[in-house]
Structure 1
């Protein structure tokens, strides 16, 4: 008898018109991925403009590594995110991107990441205490993980306080994700940027408040000086491009800071929520992970060094990111004529890498819809460009090691203290607007062990 499979998106297996596609995408972007995308190396079509979905690892390498300048981020992506994070590292292209990347890279060094492990552990312990105080009742772990990872990113970023209003920033982020992430028909049709996009203005006030709070915090920190143990804001304030000697001004610092705050808590919260859903789904995996966590932690707080001794929990995080990548689709715009996977690509074509479909592709993974952390027991056996939760090439996510360390520490801490069991009839639905969220929450019963 086949084992049940965890929650997945029903992909489309027949042509869908423009207006129907728009309605589907506004509710769940992943729902417009054709089923062929998990069976073929490349799928193409036209919806206002030509588009391609690429699942061929060789072609993906060409896009993300060999010819990265020929495939900049799509205008749709920039339209969605620029109001919140300006021309920060995530959006910038060319020389503007390169100098920012060089300036901020030292802040994300391995040494600095290890120094941040105690902050992650403290947040994990506070989360465990909140779960414990709720008693053996059904708990929405999505809400709890959002709180926990926001604790981490705000402590890592603003350890000195500096008047940083966590609640205001958190509300502004949620408001923007809720409204700005809804795909606009104008974007799909390629209408000019100056035409207003319906719905996006709704979160404008929250965005202005969020930017003002960040600007005030940056100015206050610049006046106060660096703390004894530099936090992320200190490191960014001190960042210098070694080639041009350029430093970020307040606006550039703010836009990058907000990028790290949004990405640094939203994506890790979602990864942890899906990981907890999956270990609740498979109790044998959970038992094995708990034994590892309890053995390694053995009554002491987790550290960055301990993460290296938690390989199975790291495998769970890796497998979670394969099944539920926070960025379910990445989109690029072709600048030149090209051939990808034996198919013509023209300048102006939208070229997408559906990370969600790539992780479930029938030609790349055995039993791809099943949850099996042992797939990642030997990482070298996995094609680098078949598994891209953080992208790859020069634009690989600069915070990947931060996110992985945080996720392993928090998951290990919680599994060492609780047994998680699913709540009947409460399975989450994978829904992507800007990120791949568990619609309806992740409801589990947590019992102390």
Structure 2
């Protein structure tokens, strides 16, 4: 006899007892989200000291203050930079101040609506290849997280280095996975608030594959410069041609490489996670899956989705939005206060860490009805949801530059797969949400695949 399905989809058991330095370190090593106390889903702010002073902020007005109104006073935390800089340098994701601003102005046109729309055929082609691979899995279980990583990496590789010349895609993918596994975990010194110049032992002797990847990327960029751009242009061509509209400055080879690696890391990892969690949720609630399949089949028939279909796939988009609410890839952010401030009546001093637990915000009892439940219809009117209550891509000037790219890709791939296949849960194989650098399904997303 089959086990009865759980009443709620997979979630993190948030802690209910105070944690000291060692317990916090152990929790961060296992799953960063275990640092969030359960009470964070019921109050606007929490404050404490674990090595250094911290404030955990769940209040939408306070989040607006940090992410938009006083963004310069809240740069990314030292821990974030220590983890990411070895992989992506002083690129758009890590840089601050003037260094960030000129890169943002240069890169923004690359992700314009016109350019993102023009990349739609690459996403459609990747969806078709995913269908072909899953056709071979019909009648058995498949790891849909692994499949979505493959599909989204194909997309980001095709739109960054479209010709693949001198750029070993498999090596890049392996280097990224190695870096996340070996280097991205929080150090005990991070928890203690040690200054950045103190070496973190877990990061001293790792990242060799990432260093080799940087060399490969540099050579590929130099080769592209020598041979000229491609037609149609890919992301590398667009970045090479771009310049800061105010200063006229263009990116050097190192700056191009670091930003391209940023787009590769973020562009496939976050979309793969969104799709994997969305498919898990569709299997969790067969009635939602059936309605989404009917929508997709009515629009697509037996073809893959395209950009032109997006407006006619509203339920598919709502499933993506709800997956991003329940399992935001960037589920735990942190900032370092640089000036005195007040958040929710709480004093903030320079040097304090301000934690933005997006996972808790998206499941907050005062902000959402049935917050742990899978209910895509809560996004039937996205304008009814206050802006800083739902932050899968952040907000303010540093909102994710690739948000429209990710959403377009997610809807195209999800609609294509739901139109062709039926996915069902496997008892005892629910994924466990675990965050190291991003919120991943530990153990994969194993679902039975059948033709629709």
Alignment-derived partner of residue 13 in structure 2: 10
Alignment-derived partner of residue 19 in structure 1: 22
List per-residue Cα deviations over 1:400-433 (Å, max 9, x = no partner).
Answer: 0000000000000100100000111100000000
Alignment-derived partner of residue 154 in structure 1: 157
Residues 114 and 305 of structure 1 are in contact (CA less than 8 Å); yes or no, is this contact kept in structure 2? no
TM-score, with normalisation over the residues of structure 1? 0.98
Structure 2 counterparts to residues 16-95 of structure 1, below 5 A: 16-95=19-98
Rounded Cα–Cα distance in structure 2 between residues aligned with 1:371 and 1:192: 41
Once the two structures are TM-superposed, the CA of residue 204 in structure 1 deviates from its matched residue by 2.4
Residues 83 and 183 of structure 2 are in contact (CA less than 8 Å); yes or no, is this contact kept in structure 1? yes
Q: Is the aligned partner of 1:171 residue 2:174?
A: yes
Q: Is the aligned partner of 1:435 residue 2:450?
A: no
Alignment-derived partner of residue 211 in structure 2: 208
Alignment-derived partner of residue 313 in structure 2: 310
List per-residue Cα deviations over 1:1-58 (Å, max 9, x = no partner).
Answer: 9970000000111111210111111010001101111000001110000001111101
Rounded Cα–Cα distance in structure 1 between residues aligned with 2:103 and 2:296: 38
Which residues of structure 1 form unaligned runs of 5+?
none
Alignment-derived partner of residue 322 in structure 1: 325
Alignment-derived partner of residue 113 in structure 1: 116
Residues 114 and 303 of structure 1 are in contact (CA less than 8 Å); yes or no, is this contact kept in structure 2? no
Structure 2 counterparts to residues 272-291 of structure 1, below 5 A: 272-291=275-294
List per-residue Cα deviations over 1:133-165 (Å, max 9, x = no partner).
Answer: 123101011111111110000011111222210
- Partner-residue secondary structure (3-state), 2:274: helix
- Partner-residue secondary structure (3-state), 1:203: coil
Once the two structures are TM-superposed, the CA of residue 435 in structure 1 deviates from its matched residue by 0.4
Once the two structures are TM-superposed, the CA of residue 202 in structure 1 deviates from its matched residue by 3.9
List per-residue Cα deviations over 1:354-401 (Å, max 9, x = no partner).
Answer: 000000000000000000000000011101101000000000000000
Residues 172 and 203 of structure 1 are in contact (CA less than 8 Å); yes or no, is this contact kept in structure 2? no
Rounded Cα–Cα distance in structure 2 between residues aligned with 1:271 and 1:35: 24
Rounded Cα–Cα distance in structure 2 between residues aligned with 1:39 and 1:333: 24
- Partner-residue secondary structure (3-state), 2:449: strand
Alignment-derived partner of residue 404 in structure 2: 401
Structure 2 counterparts to residues 115-130 of structure 1, below 5 A: 115-130=118-133
Which residues of structure 2 form unaligned runs of 5+?
none
TM-score, with normalisation over the residues of structure 2? 0.98
Aligned length: 449
Structure 2 counterparts to residues 331-342 of structure 1, below 5 A: 331-342=334-345
Alignment-derived partner of residue 263 in structure 2: 260
Q: Which runs of 4+ in 1 moved over 6 A?
A: none
- Partner-residue secondary structure (3-state), 1:199: helix
List per-residue Cα deviations over 1:285-314 (Å, max 9, x = no partner).
Answer: 001111111111123332212112211100
Once the two structures are TM-superposed, the CA of residue 195 in structure 1 deviates from its matched residue by 2.1
